[in-house]
Structure 1
């Protein structure tokens, strides 16, 4: 029986976890070596495991692991698992943990492939580290993440921005004239889109937005995503995000 298992090492980002039975859980990860995968974790909800394993599987937590792959079982398992990034702020700051919950759910809903995507994985892994360590501009982080995630999902803005442009959501292009259809960002939103495209994550505080502007731009981004990927509408944590920011 033991010979049917293959081991492999990898890094992963927790997207979602679900209770399974009395003491186990199913954890969905975005991994560097296997793309999106599901893992069965046994005994994690027992009194013995509560203080150790359970804490690892929070939304957007980064892991290092040794996995077990078997042709006899549909889900992978862990031989060993530990933190991949020691988080200093996300678990203890409601703003960061709210953004982490949103980011994890967006990835859970939108990234379905079981093939590895190194560029996407590296972007997400580095984003976790940036969210945890960012000194200023945290309130803009989810907007920066959505704008730049679109690069890896296939609908990143396809041309250069010019002053007073509109943004045609259907075509994924900045345009000088208002499109004839309603799927467009007005010039103020198009300028913000370009600001987040060009902004280094460490400089997010330089994009000065109030609560209303932040909410309006998030709605514009969700419309942009929704045109290309309908699954964005299933993201429930948007409401929590809007309450905090």
Structure 2
């Protein structure tokens, strides 16, 4: 079946001498993997290797057989040319980290219009702003909403956050209940939106601790979660 769809690149892996295996999140079919034969040697054609940098937003004409095998891209073009996302060193680190997290967390081969729209808007916003320090924290918290495990903030004034239950509570009921400055900083991200994100002021150490908290939260709620290899690079950029 030939489909026309928007797509966001999650990863591109070299396969053999001149091929790429590309993982994309598509608007019409969710996660899809494509085999691009000869693309690393070909200088002609409608599909170019440069299109498949992480988080690039594309318009594809693709053939989907939907048999669990690698699919085929017939045509591709960039639908939103990023200006800074692949050239600014800090944003490049964020792109590596977030694309790895997305590939780790999203596996469904079905359309999710709200999730796709969220990703599309978030990365266009990141491309356009200079205020990037808190973006990955905010992004992962909002992503958890689309993945179905957004924390219950109905008792957000309580001192403890239970990372297994995903709620705030007055008393510690297990070793997975945390309190202190890390949790107070976490609470700040429930009261801002992407436009007011810059108003959350954190030290570098506090931001690192908060990222560790969110990744621990993901580890309990994402089946088969794997610690991102790019985390070390991100920590260096923000240290």
| Structure 2 length-normalised TM | 0.92
For residues 104-150 of structure 1, give each alpha carbon's deviation from its aligned partner in whole angstroms, at most 9, with x where no partner exists.
Answer: 100111111111111111111111111101232x0111111111111
Number of residue equivalences: 237
SS at match of 2:134: helix
Match of residue 162, structure 2, among 136, 152, 168: 168
Q: Structure 1's 22 and 148: CA in aligned 2 closer, same or farther, altered over 3 A?
A: same
The answer on whether the counterparts of 1:147 and 1:193 sit within 8 Å (CA) in structure 2 is no
Tell me whether 1:181 sits opposite 2:161 in the alignment: no
CA RMSD of superposed structures (Å) = 2.0
Checking the alignment, whether the CA contact within 8 Å between 1:20 and 1:26 is kept in structure 2 is: yes
Counterpart of 1:111 in structure 2 is 106
Alignment of 1:193-212 (within 5 A): 193-212=186-205
Shift of 1:101: 0.9
Counterpart in the other structure of 1:34: 29
Paired position in structure 2 for 1:87: 82
SS at match of 1:26: strand
1:22 CA displacement? 1.6
Q: Aligned-pair distance for 1:184?
A: 2.5
Query: Which range is displaced more, 187-196 or 218-227?
Result: 187-196
The answer on 1:59 being equivalent to 2:54 is: yes
Report if aligned partners of 2:182, 2:206 keep a CA contact under 8 Å in 1. no
**What SS does the corresponding residue of 2:189 show, helix, strand or coil?**
helix
The answer for the alignment partner of 2:152 in structure 1 is 158
Correspondence 1:9 to 2:4? yes
Q: Distance in 2 between matches of 1:139 and 1:232?
A: 24
CA distance in 1, matches of 2:158, 2:72: 52
Q: In the alignment, what sits opposite 1:3? A: none
Q: How far is 1:20 from its partner?
A: 1.6
Provide the rounded CA distance (Å) in 1 between the counterparts of 2:119 and 2:67: 31
| Larger helix percent | 1
Distance (whole Å) between structure 1 residues aligned to residue 44 and residue 55 of structure 2: 20
Report deviation, 1:43: 2.2
